[in-house]
Amino acid sequence: MKLVFVTGNAQKLNEAARILKKHELINESIDIPEFQGTSKEIVIAKAKLAYQKLKKPCFVDDTSLCFNAWNGLPGPYIKDFLRFVGVEKLPSLLDGKDNSGYVLCSIGYAKSEDEILFFEGRINGKIVSVGGSDRFQFDRIFIPNGHDKRFSEMTIEEKNKISHRKKAFEAFNAFLEDE
Amino acid sequence: MKLVFVTGNAQKLNEAARILKKHELINESIDIPEFQGTSKEIVIAKAKLAYQKLKKPCFVDDTSLCFNAWNGLPGPYIKDFLRFVGVEKLPSLLDGKDNSGYVLCSIGYAKSEDEILFFEGRINGKIVSVGGSDRFQFDRIFIPNGHDKRFSEMTIEEKNKISHRKKAFEAFNAFLEDE
């Protein structure tokens, strides 16, 4: 099956291709705005808009970092928290509070304009001071539960074995198997 | 001059009409999504989209609550912080930190699809524990500098004399006078 992944990120495309390996992945890098809302609301809105532009089935993804002390926020706004607060300072906003949280990868798949499916992968962990390589921004402040290393201190292979993105794409892949 | 204000909020419309009193204000309540970005980026994108839908000059506004300790965030995401964290708990996220901040009203005025003007009103103050009437949500946790009452403890008239929205609409009005 041909699948259109709307992303401008080559690394995401490679990772998705590895998991969705029975399918032919086609990349479209169209301009879709970032909406406000929950991760789920955002990927559903983006998938619908992508379908309206491309006129064919397609999927989008979005990544969140969620603080339990903030009831799940910054969530999808993590991109602007990294942009304006910065990864060095961000963990200090939780000083004196519960530093547990989770990372989410959310996928919206538009089968048609009005049939949007949603898939999600979640990894619980802790938000800690910055460390490790600067490969991905919030990977430098997140240690998944059951591990003693930040995502940024793992090899890409180690991280990809356990990541939120892997879980989300596996859920999407399982759905496609049953289609 | 006829001016189209894209808002679903009757109170905002009345307040704008009082300040822009030389102009005929027309309300259009079309559905424009909330985008991510800075307040300025958001109202510019929304005004442009509103123009594309209405095919005539129009303006939109947006309100932010900005914490200095968070480098200006939550900013325009205050709506989701109120939705998910709640006004009662929100001030406690600043426990042990600088509780100064500011409120912003941002206006985007689309004269044409590609000529978008931007106006802003800002009031500095402090983020404090919840109090006063429940008239507006973040008015219950904000004391403007030079005052000893939360916005929610002022009469509407008192607040409107000093508000960020008044400042922004006055700046917009001054621009229109010179047009």
Tokens found for residue B78: 């205050």
Please give the Cα distance from A101 to B88 (Å, whole number): 21
Structural domain that includes position B102:
2-178
ipTM of the complex in this document: 0.93
A86: left (phi over 0), alpha (psi -120 to 50) or beta: left
Backbone φ, ψ for residue B168 (5° rounding)? -65, -45
Burial A14-43 (b: 16+ CB within 10 A, else e): ebbbebbeeeebeeeeeebebbbbbbeebb
Q: What is the CA radius of gyration of chain B?
A: 16
Burial B56-74 (b: 16+ CB within 10 A, else e): ebbbbbbbbbbbbbbbbbb
Side chain identity, residue A158: E
Residue in chain A closest to B76 (alpha carbons) equals A36
Q: What is the pLDDT of residues A67-86, one digit of tens each?
A: 999 999 999 999 999 999 99
Residues of A in contact with B95 (CB under 8 A): 96-97
Q: What is the pLDDT of residues B78-136, one digit of tens each?
A: 999 999 999 999 999 999 999 999 999 999 999 999 999 999 999 999 999 999 987 77
What sign does the dihedral B92-B93-B94-B99 (CA atoms) show?
A: negative
Contact B77 A35 (CB under 8 A): no
Residues in chain A whose Cβ is within 8 Å of chain B = 33-37, 45, 69-77, 79-81, 84-86, 89, 93, 95-97
Domain count, chain A: 1
Q: What is the pLDDT of residues A100-150, one digit of tens each?
A: 999 999 999 999 999 999 999 999 999 999 999 877 789 999 999 999 999
Residues of B in contact with A35 (CB under 8 A): 33-36
Residue pair B25/B47 in contact by the 8 Å Cβ criterion: no
Q: What is the pLDDT of residues A144-171, one digit of tens each?
A: 999 999 999 999 889 989 999 999 999 9
Tokens found for residue B71: 């480098």
pLDDT mean across residues, chain A: 94
Residues of A in contact with B85 (CB under 8 A): 70-71, 73
pLDDT in the model for residue B71: 98
Q: Does residue B11 surpass a pLDDT of 90?
A: no
Contact A70 B85 (CB under 8 A): yes
Contact A37 B80 (CB under 8 A): yes
Contact B73 A70 (CB under 8 A): no
Residue in chain A closest to B68 (alpha carbons) equals A85
Contact A73 B80 (CB under 8 A): yes
pLDDT in the model for residue B135: 72
Q: How confident is the model at residue A175 (pLDDT cuts 50, 70, 90)?
A: very high
Please give the Cα distance from B179 to B177 (Å, whole number): 6
Contact B70 A79 (CB under 8 A): no
CATH label of the domain that carries residue B160: 3.90.950.10
Residues of A in contact with B86 (CB under 8 A): 71
